[in-house]
A = this chain, B = another copy of it.
Amino acid sequence: MHASRIRMASLHEKIISATQAALLIKDGMTLGMSGFGGAGDAKAVPLALIEQARSTPLKINLITGASLGGGLDGKMAEAGLVARRMPFQGDAILRKAINEGRVVFIDQHLSEVVEQMRDGSLPTPDIAIVEAVSITEQGHIVPTSSVGNSASLALAAKQVIVELNLASNPNFEGLHDIYLPEDRPHRGPIPIRQSNERIGSPAIEIDPSRIAGIVICNTPEAAVTMLPPDHDTQAIADHLVRFFEQEVELGRLPRNLAPLQVGVGSIANAVMSGLIHAPFNDLVQYSEVLQDSTFDLLDAGKLKFASGCSITLSGPCGERVFGNLEKYADRLVLRPQEVSNHPEVIRRLGLIAINTALEFDLYGNVNSTHVCGTQMMNGIGGSGDFARNARLSIFVTKSTAKDGNISRVVPMVSHVDHTEHDVDILVTEHGLADLRGLAPRERARVIIDHCVHPDYREALADYFSAACLLGGHTPHDLSQALSWHVRLNNTGSMQQPN
């Protein structure tokens, strides 16, 4: 039974049901779970755990790679199962619980979670649950569509539960490159010099005696919804392509640009897709989540290689890719998020990082996480890992939201995730602001001229003029700096009444 999937014979006796596995998890435990961007989540045990919580008092602390898919984060929150959650989420139900203070959420740079765990700054998991496509002859775990933090969580946990997902294509095996930095103070360099280099092992090398149970499941990955490009995202992509063309002409970028990182979500995906018809070839991606656009570009022959830590696809794209993994085998690698997002590698390779902003301000500060400074959206994710260390740090957003009632370009952001020091280029559908080498007052003029929606341009220019009268390197009228957000809270719109 499942001989090709569990190749270490002695492990067959560890097969248990999801319900039995869930019983290993006790109230107050810290749980590490596979899953990044809704890819490679454990699927059966969490549901059994939710079932168990109906009859037993059960609160756990949950650490994952990033967000869970298939509504799992919401279902667990709804069951009152989650006391503390880190480092990222993207679920409407969990989000509400976080914002109401019912779930404690620790929003973290994704590269740093397991580093801090090893240092003792964060708790280590009692139990790790890792989805696998197979277990090797040595008892090592082969992950499915994400690596995320799975390796470090499995190595740090006292016990490991493996969820063997028969619905996953066995050809995932060979795709992963599991490398973990050595413990400090005796750590060496991470020896990646090019996006396509493999430096680790194809499986998570745990001592198989630490496997407490193997749960067989057969649940296809939940697809994500990916909005198609629209007029605005196409305009953003066009601005960026024009910018890249200029950089190539000026000799600042080679014809194949630089390794690309692209953030999660429809806007970033649409921007990446915009490169299909651009005059750049032999592109390379060194990113976090690989989305539809990666495979569109691979299939179009524009992208040579893609490195990520997870693959999250829409339904149609998932059918095309997950059923034909062998086709991509020599053009794909999945790494631990500690490596995909590592400052050392990002800086060395000189990435072009394209991430989505929730809002940005006159001076180039970016808010990626908090609506009106208070309500958590998803979390910072990997955007900070990339933006800080990239060769070009680019943030994209539509200039307005909520039918024009929200300007995404504001006098002062209500929360800062990426400071003025970390942002090179800002793009909305109206244009591109190149902030490199500019002082705050210069940036303000470029942003007003190129990025803000015409409905808000005059108001933003007025704010800036008034602030300049007050002086300072970074002019602000602190009594008015957050007034657009206050007005939105009070009236439902940032627009000034006529």
Contacts and interface: CB of A to CB of B under 8 A. Distances in A.
Interface of A: 84, 86, 98-101, 104-109, 115-116, 119-123, 181, 184-191, 193-194, 247, 250-252, 254, 258-259, 342-344, 347-350, 365, 370, 372-376, 380, 384, 388-389, 391-392, 412, 414-422, 424, 436-439, 441-442, 467-468, 470-476, 478-479, 481-482, 485-486, 489
B252 A436 contact: no
Contacts of A123: 437
Contacts of A100: 471
B251 A120 contact: yes
A74 to B, nearest CB: 16
A60 B399 CA distance: 37
A373 B473 contact: no
Contacts of A468: 101
Given A373-B474, A373-B476, A482-B478, A122 B344 contact: no
B347 A343 contact: yes
Contacts of A489: 478
A348 B189 contact: yes
B389 A343 contact: yes
B438 A106 contact: yes
Given A106-B438, A115-B347, A189-B193, 12 more contacts: A100-B471, A107-B421, A107-B439, A119-B391, A122-B436, A187-B348, A188-B348, A343-B344, A343-B389, A365-B416, A373-B474, A416-B419
A351 to B, nearest CB: 10
A442 B104 CA distance: 9
B478 A373 contact: yes
Oligomeric state, in number of copies? 2
Contact of A473 (B342, B343, B376): B376
Contacts of A389: 343
A117 to B, nearest CB: 9
Contacts of A187: 193, 348-350
11 contacts: A106-B438, A108-B421, A116-B436, A119-B252, A123-B437, A184-B348, A374-B470, A374-B474, A384-B421, A414-B476, A481-B482
Name the residue among A86, A121, A486 with the largest chain B CB count within 10 angstroms: A121
A421 B481 contact: no
A479 B372 CA distance: 11
B104 A439 contact: yes
Nearest to A388: B388
A259 B184 CA distance: 11
A106 B439 contact: yes
Contacts of A418: 419
A23 to B, nearest CB: 27
Contacts of A107: 420-421, 439, 473
A162 to B, nearest CB: 27
A370 B120 contact: no
B252 A350 contact: no
Contacts of A439: 84, 104-107
Nearest to A415: B474
Given A389-B343, A421-B108, A184 B472 contact: no
Nearest to A123: B437
Contacts of A412: 373
A104 B473 CA distance: 8
A389 B116 CA distance: 11
B252 A374 contact: no
Given A106-B438, A439-B104, A120 B471 contact: no
Contacts of A119: 252, 350, 391
A184 to B, nearest CB: 4
B416 A476 contact: no
A185 B258 contact: yes
Given A344-B344, A415-B474, A471-B99, A250 B120 contact: yes
A473 to B, nearest CB: 4
Nearest to A188: B193
By Cβ-Cβ distance, the 5 closest A-B pairs, closest first, are: A374-B472, A189-B189, A376-B473, A416-B416, A184-B350
Contacts of A421: 107-109, 380, 384, 417
Contacts of A478: 372-374, 414, 482, 485-486, 489
Contact of A252 (B84, B121, B419): B121
Contacts of A350: 119, 184-185, 187
